[in-house]
Amino acid sequence: MSIRKVPFFNYPFLFKSRQEKFTEIFTDVCSRGAYILQKDCLEFEQGLAEFAGTKYAVGMANGTDAIWIGLMAAGIQKDDEIIFASHTYIATASSIVFAGAKPIPADCGKDHMLDPESVRKMITKKTKMILPTQVNGRCCDMDALREIANEYGLSIFEDAAQGLGAKFKGEGVGTFDLGGTISFYPAKNLGSFGDAGGFVTNNEEMYEKVKLMRDHGRNDDGEFVMWGFNSRIDNLQAAILNYKLTYYQEEIERRREIATLYQNLLSGISELHLPPAPNSDSRYYDVYQNYELEAENRDGLKKYLADNGVGTLIQWSGQPVHGITSLGFSGTGCPYTDKMFEKCLMIPMNTSLSNEDVAYVAEKISNFYKNK
């Protein structure tokens, strides 16, 4: 068989898939001179809240800003400790630092999500918050985390950068306590054409504070009522995202179809540990931002796939946060995460993939292990 090119992510597809409509949106917004905080932004925020199942949503410049501004709005103070998943991007930890608190990394479990028992072990008198990352488009076990939070008087604030649309027992990201943050980075499930982010919540006080802080602390009357920042979502991106929301559920369903195909084609390979399949646990509704598996001889498989035209990625450049000792982390305390990062690999998962692309990827993975 000839080599088939299956990139890890097809960036041009984002625009070319609906080029005519996106061009129409660009022309409309720019011809109106509607660049910052115009009606498109308000419409997007309303649509985002409706989709997320929350009362409120705020469009922001990027997902990282959303985390640290949200933490500040939550009243996090100097020397507070916040427990987070080491299996996350550095932005989660850096947001905690810039909010003035201390990031405490916890281990993940076999589903690659924050392990509640590890969280429990990390709690001290200084602990104020649990910050779960809804990684790969899956929710953590929020019942277990809320039980711990209630027991110790802690709040929960979600890094749901990869999780818009994911649910646990019918509850969506951003609904479990103080709220959740979303990234609209181009490669995300709901991707913009540049940096953009959002915050969703049912907490009116959090909403009002985040909304003020994202625009220099300025209220709707133009008065400066608190210190704030410049973290407004670009209005053009808001208009594009508002349109993409109209078919976002279709995108999610296609990702779940691809995950089912991978499950059917790869489940018989003993050298692989696959992510949970769609509908394998009725408590979870996963949106498959990524398809992150664990593979024996991971590096050999990665090279073999590259030689056969298949793009792959090791998440976070292969660095769990607790292992970044240059930033003061100990490098210890998360044993499952350490083992997982020796094997983890993300294979293509996006709506540019055809069924033939998925079959080709699975065939090459199968051939690699058969040849070994």
Does any domain span residue 8? no
| Whether residues 201 and 308 fall in one domain | no
| Whether residues 346 and 305 fall in one domain | yes
Does any domain span residue 7? no
Does any domain span residue 362? yes
pLDDT surpassing 90 at residue 195: yes
What stretch of H or E contains 122? helix 116-122
| Whether residues 101 and 177 fall in one domain | yes
| Whether residues 106 and 224 fall in one domain | yes
Q: Find the domain containing 342 and state its range.
A: 249-371
Give the end of a domain, one of 203, 222, 245.
245
Average the pLDDT over 346-359 and give the result. 98
Give the end of a domain, one of 245, 279, 296.
245
How many alpha carbons fall within 13 Å on the CB side of residue 155? Answer: 20
pLDDT surpassing 60 at residue 363: yes
Q: What is the 3-state secondary structure (H, E, C) of 210-262?
A: HHHHCECCECCCCCECCCCCECECEHHHHHHHHHHHCCHHHHHHHHHHHHHHH
Distance CA 51, CA 244 (A): 12
Name the pLDDT band for 314 (thresholds 50, 70, 90): very high
Distance CA 227, CA 217 (A): 5
Enumerate residues 6+ apart whose C-beta is below 8 A from 59.
41, 44, 45, 48, 196, 197, 198, 232, 233, 238
| Whether residues 197 and 285 fall in one domain | no
Amino acid at 218: R
Contact 364, 305 (CB under 8 A): yes
| Whether residues 75 and 122 fall in one domain | yes
We report the CATH number of the domain holding residue 330 as 3.90.1150.10
| Whether residues 94 and 237 fall in one domain | yes
Does any domain span residue 4? no
Quick one: pLDDT at residue 2?
A: 81
| Whether residues 216 and 259 fall in one domain | no
Name the pLDDT band for 89 (thresholds 50, 70, 90): very high
| Whether residues 235 and 283 fall in one domain | no
Does any domain span residue 269? yes
| Whether residues 215 and 285 fall in one domain | no
- pLDDT, tens digit (0-9, with 9 covering 90-100), for 99-145: 999 999 999 999 999 999 999 999 999 999 999 999 999 999 999 99
Does any domain span residue 185? yes
| Whether residues 54 and 97 fall in one domain | yes
Beta-bridge mates of residue 59? 198
Does any domain span residue 9? no
Quick one: pLDDT at residue 353?
A: 98
Name the pLDDT band for 371 (thresholds 50, 70, 90): confident
Mean pLDDT of the chain: 96
Angle between helices 63-73 and 204-213 (to 10 degrees): 120
| Total number of domains in the chain | 2
Termini Cα distance of the chain:
19
Quick one: pLDDT at residue 1?
A: 57
Distance CA 263, CA 261 (A): 5
| Whether residues 232 and 105 fall in one domain | yes
Does any domain span residue 3? no
Give the end of a domain, one of 245, 270, 293.
245
Distance CA 347, CA 369 (A): 16
We report the CATH number of the domain holding residue 126 as 3.40.640.10
